[in-house]
């Protein structure tokens, strides 16, 4: 939330920071189960580890994920992978201590976000 209590949004209009750091896991932004198609990503299959980390982390279960975005706690884009074709990807944020939000988006535009803590 910003200083006025409004959500901070990324360039797709999704919440980047909601202040619920201790309980936020993968959160699907479109929560209507009836809208999920056969090609929808399965959040139970997507794993982000280790978390917390000293810098390097991996995300697996990305077979149906088109885009992976990493944002810092200010909502600034750190890195993005578009047109993903990998089942897993690794990132290295060594020496970049902080809280980051990782957003994965499937080919239908559905997205989910999880925090990662870099110590």
- Domain hosting 83: range is 8-118
pLDDT tens sequence across 101-115? 999 999 888 889 999
1 domain residue, yes or no: no
Per the document, the length of the chain is 119
Count: domains in the chain: 1
- Distance, in Å, from the CA atom of 56 to the CA atom of 35, rounded to the nearest integer, reads 34
3 domain residue, yes or no: no
- Written as tens digits, the pLDDT of the chain (119 aa) is 566 667 677 777 776 654 444 444 555 555 554 444 445 677 778 999 999 999 999 999 999 999 999 999 999 999 999 999 999 999 999 999 999 999 999 988 888 999 999 99
With the CA atoms of 3, 7, 9 and 15 taken in that order, what torsion angle do they form, in degrees rounded to the nearest 10? 140
CATH number, domain of 99, equals 2.60.40.3080
pTM (2 d.p.):
0.68
């Amino acid at each position: 939330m910003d200083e006025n209590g409004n959500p901070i949004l990324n360039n797709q209009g999704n919440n980047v920071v909601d202040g619920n750091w201790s309980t936020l896991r993968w959160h699907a932004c479109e929560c209507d189960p009836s809208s999920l198609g056969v090609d929808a990503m399965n959040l139970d299959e997507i794993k982000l580890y280790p978390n917390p980390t000293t810098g390097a982390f991996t995300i697996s279960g990305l077979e149906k994920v088109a885009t992976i975005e990493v944002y810092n706690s200010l909502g600034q884009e750190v890195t993005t992978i578009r047109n993903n074709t990998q089942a897993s990807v690794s990132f290295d944020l060594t020496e970049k201590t902080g809280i980051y939000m990782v957003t994965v988006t499937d080919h239908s535009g559905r997205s989910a976000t999880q925090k990662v803590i870099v110590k």
